[in-house]
Amino acid sequence: MGQWIIVCVGFCVLVVVVIPSVIVRGCGFNVYPPTPRLSSFDHAVKVFVVSSNEICDMQLEEYIKGVVAAEMPASFGIEALKAQAVAARTFTLRRMTALGGPGCTANPGADICTDHRHCQAWISQDELRKRMGYINYPIYAGKIQDAIDSTKGLVATYQGNLIEAYYHAASGGATDNSEEVWSSPVPYLRGVSTEFESKEPDFREEVSFTMDDLEKKLDTSLKERKSTTYKVAGKDVQVISEERMDKPIEILDVSRAGRVKEIRIGDKVFSGYTLRALLGLSSTKMTYRIADNKVYIVTTGYGHGVGMSQYGANAMAEAGKNFEEILKHYYQGIQVLDYAEAETR
């Protein structure tokens, strides 16, 4: 009797599973496993490490630990560090190719890179130990680990989708709407200006450029052709010369928070975002003056000014706000969920 049962079970497996599989494959169709839910994803992130010029596979939470260590001072409040962990995790997952993201556009084959100007900064535990010193390292490393563990799996979402969790060091008093810095409006990247931003350090910085340096760096001309007419032997003689413009720099448009959106320098117009990159400025919240054949630019704040201000987040943590309140302050209308409940995009 037992043998008959075994035979029947084997026959059912053959008919229901094996034969259909062979038929499908024989017809030229590919059989793929179902797309894994985020809850079952193995969390491997392909990280292009700039210092070693190679792509490394890292476990998600270990990678996030290195991002938090690099992106935010460990002396900040624990709730600020938690907010940073959630923002960094969201930023990463949104870019992972295995979850439908674009990957790192600067480094094909990688999900993300360690260049903070393009993706996110990251440091190894060995590098963190060198920076902190052997006495402080256990304290701060433990604090960072606590921020990672207590927010494990949590991400920021808008209408069920992972958000673009942009962040910067300090807003200079107010953050901006996304379209005032870049081109597209994003509903959750709205500017905020509250007492928390006013408690940030202003990161005031002055840099100077000679007129010649500015022309070279920006590939522009600060000169203009001028025509002067002279009387020579009773006749008008016109002389053409190149001289410095009377007004070589002109701010054309500023954002609600006071960041330069558009500026003319010489014979070219630049966005504030482009000018910041070309001149290596700390912020687009700037003023300028011209003296002694030099241009002096004073910037306030640090970073692009969209999304979460890290120093503002710390001010909120010191005021008793938790990480979720911090995130919802800087990313309007979002939810903080376990990524098993979120869509991949």
Q: What residue type is assigned to position 2 of the chain?
A: G
Backbone angles phi, psi at 260, to 5 degrees: -70, 120
pLDDT in tens, 193-246: 999 999 999 899 999 999 999 999 999 998 876 666 666 766 766 666 667 888
Radius of gyration of the chain (CA): 28
Contact 164, 94 (CB under 8 A): yes
Q: What pLDDT score does 183 carry?
A: 82
**Letter string b/e over residues 230-268, b meaning 16 or more CB atoms within 10 A of that residue's CB:** eeeeeeeeeeeeeeebeebbeeeebbebbbbbebbbbee
Give me the pLDDT at residue 237, please. Answer: 64
Give the per-residue pLDDT at 297: 97
Residue 48, φ and ψ in degrees, nearest 5: -85, 115
Nearest-CA neighbor of 101 among 86, 85, 119, 83? 119
pLDDT digit string (tens) for 265-307?
Answer: 999 999 999 999 999 999 999 999 999 889 999 999 999 999 9
DSSP-derived secondary structure letter, 256:
T
Phi/psi of residue 188, nearest 5 degrees: -95, -10
The residues pairing with 262 across neighbouring beta strands, listed in sequence order, are 253, 271
Residues 294, 208 contacting (CB under 8 angstroms) = yes
* pTM of the predicted structure, to 2 decimals: 0.81
d(CA 297, CA 217): 15
Using the structure block, give the residue that is written with the tokens 């969920």: 337
Determine how β-strand 154-158 pairs with β-strand 335-338. Answer: antiparallel
